[in-house]
Chain A
């Protein structure tokens, strides 16, 4: 589904953020990307739907080359859902309008169709009663669930999560993770940048560990948690699991 091969990316002439990154995500697979801050994991995931350009290598998404100038990027992006660290709901639109905007403007669905779909997804994330509120009137966890629903409304073939819980209070993290776990169990293809190792051990098939722009380890979940090969991954794990 997602093929990342030999991706190199620089900010400016000298600072290399991604170094020869190669990995893939198969259909229905859940891959967790972790690593210390500044390791390039968010940048990598944003390269997948071309939110970030990269200079070398290639990424193929469902058979379509992302970094081909001929690719219709808006059309391609509409097929991949993305959830951000800071939710990024549109503050001037009601919750239901947030869910409908791209359905109508990008997919060309009728307003009624979009609203029906939006309501169905709000029900799924348990926020039906908030449909007519504005984002700022919801808690962080609720906003993030809306953001997931907004991405799902586009009927994506895969979902990208960029640290979806790191801006949330501890008690709100689980309500967001629950939605993500359900999604994973339904067979959604997911690439998730997160520090939630509990989530990783529960639903991930594979774990990718990045450090300083490199993919240091790309292993099956059991191998990664059982016996990480690299010293850097061992150190990282011991740090985040020690509390």
Chain B
């Protein structure tokens, strides 16, 4: 292979004139983190609401939950981002569509919300499974004590269900981070986008993507470690994951 390795490329000035190639990648990394965090918050909030709906005895509630989950999990993420970014503004009334298109940082908001909603369907399914795995008597005991349905969820069912699903939730958090790279297609210059830009300007494709890989790995290690600590601090003595 006739390839000219150059690991010093990271310290050479980038063509935008603002800093080095490394600075470029770091700014992409920060944008990836920002997008992923917002997406994860959205995924948790909507996933929790829909997960609860799916676990309620009401037929209407579980139908809404079912429709939501199937809508968001059965379409490729890429298609969903295109829908939100290119199609939605055209479907809205002219003024609203124009406002959306002219929104500053539109790719960022679209990516965070789009990835967030896509992931929320997965969080919802896991939470519903977590709640379903609890003995039926737990809900009955909460009800028999006079707690309302809302209080039963808030103080009894959700605290246990979330502990049970923490390990798969860690995977979903990691998926959220990695899925933000799809946003490159709607013009969000996050970590993958910056690596590609670096490759185009410098022709050092291997160095650029090696650095991006290491950075993705680094964030994910932080997340995995953080979630481990969370799992440990929430462990219940004698119960799941507790010793």
Contacts and interface: CB of A to CB of B under 8 A. Distances in A.
Nearest to B144: A82
Interface stretch (A101-109, A191-199, A211-219): A101-109
B147 interface: yes
Given A91-B236, A134-B238, A136-B236, A106 B140 contact: no
Given A86-B135, A88-B141, A92-B163, A136 B237 contact: yes
Interface in B184-231: none
Contacts of B135: 86, 88
B156 interface: yes
A75 interface: yes
A182 interface: no
Contact of B138 (A74, A85, A88, A154): A88
Given A77-B145, A89-B141, 14 more contacts: A74-B143, A77-B146, A78-B145, A82-B145, A86-B137, A88-B140, A90-B142, A90-B156, A105-B147, A107-B146, A134-B239, A135-B238, A136-B236, A136-B238
Interface in A77-135: 77-80, 82, 84-86, 88-92, 101-102, 105-107, 133-135
A168 to B, nearest CB: 15
A90 B147 CA distance: 13
B160 interface: yes
Interface of A: 46, 49, 51, 74-75, 77-80, 82, 84-86, 88-92, 101-102, 105-107, 133-137, 150-151, 154
Contacts of B239: 91-92, 134-136
Interface residues of B, number: 23
B159 interface: yes
B140 A154 contact: no
A134 B241 CA distance: 14
Nearest to B145: A102
A51 B146 contact: no
A1 to B, nearest CB: 17
B238 A74 contact: no
B133 interface: no
B151 to A, nearest CB: 5
A72 B146 CA distance: 10
Interface string B47-68: 0000000000000000000000
A105 B138 CA distance: 17
B131 to A, nearest CB: 14
B148 A88 contact: no
B155 A51 contact: no
Given A74-B146, A106-B146, A84 B160 contact: no
Contacts of B238: 134-137
A144 to B, nearest CB: 12
B164 to A, nearest CB: 10
Contacts of B142: 90
A47 to B, nearest CB: 12
Nearest to B138: A88
Given A82-B144, A137-B238, A101 B138 contact: no
Contacts of A90: 138, 141-142, 155-156, 160
